[in-house]
């Protein structure tokens, strides 16, 4: 991600509510709201030394952080009715994927990959349930 320093300064920098994930999406949306366009250079090559900030985290912990960041973004930028539709859609997808993954697990050639996906969808579902419960209480 590349942008002018003056734009970042005008926006007040990255939002610290986001930790590791989601801050770039939040910043891009704010930049677009300022009237700028977001571009993409398909010819650019970037070497990313992946997972350095998550070196000590399990895959489940990383997925939980990514899910939480996504929902923080929704809470920050969307109306409650839209957020409810997004959550409902995500929850239906998660239930469906859990059902189908469990159904086909015995027939899978790569059981570890399927088990990892099951964990991810369980974490997503748990995060969404917690968010929905908080909304209903608050």
Q: Is the pLDDT of residue 92 over 80?
A: yes
- pLDDT value of position 87: 87
Q: Is the pLDDT of residue 51 over 70?
A: no
Give the separation between CA 65 and CA 18, rounded to whole angstroms: 9
How is 33-88 classified by DSSP, letter by letter? Answer: HTTPPP---TT------TTSTTTT--HHHHHHHHHHHHHHHHHHHS-HHHHHHHHH
- pLDDT value of position 60: 78
- pLDDT value of position 123: 87
pLDDT band at 107 (very low <50, low <70, confident <90, very high): very high
Give the separation between CA 128 and CA 82, rounded to whole angstroms: 14
DSSP code at position 22: S
Closest residue by Cα to residue 123 from 72, 82, 66, 74: 66
* pLDDT more than 70, % of the chain: 97
Q: What is the mean pLDDT of the chain?
A: 87
Give the separation between CA 93 and CA 87, rounded to whole angstroms: 10
Q: Is the pLDDT of residue 36 over 80?
A: yes
User: What angle in degrees, to the nearest 10, is found between the helix axes of 59-77 and 80-104?
Assistant: 150
Contact 124, 94 (CB under 8 A): yes
Using a cut of 0.75, tell me whether the model's pTM lies above it. Answer: no
- pLDDT value of position 7: 93
Between 111 and 84, whose confidence is greater?
111
- pLDDT value of position 95: 95
- pLDDT value of position 129: 84
- pLDDT value of position 138: 65
Closest residue by Cα to residue 36 from 4, 78, 13, 74: 4
Give the separation between CA 6 and CA 12, rounded to whole angstroms: 10
């Amino acid at each position: 991600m590349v942008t002018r320093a003056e734009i970042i300064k005008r926006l007040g920098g990255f939002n610290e509510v986001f930790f590791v994930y989601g801050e770039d999406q939040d910043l891009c949306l704010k930049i677009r709201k300022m009237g700028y366009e977001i571009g993409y250079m398909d010819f650019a090559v970037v070497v990313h030394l992946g997972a350095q900030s998550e070196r000590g985290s399990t895959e489940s912990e990383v997925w939980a952080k990514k899910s939480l960041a996504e929902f923080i973004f929704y809470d920050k930028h969307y109306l409650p009715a839209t957020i409810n539709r997004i959550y409902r859609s995500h929850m239906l997808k998660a239930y469906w994927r859990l059902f189908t993954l469990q159904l086909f697990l015995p027939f899978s050639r790569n059981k570890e990959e399927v088990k990892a996906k099951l964990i991810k969808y369980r974490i997503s579902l748990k995060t969404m349930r917690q968010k929905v419960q908080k909304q209903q209480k608050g």
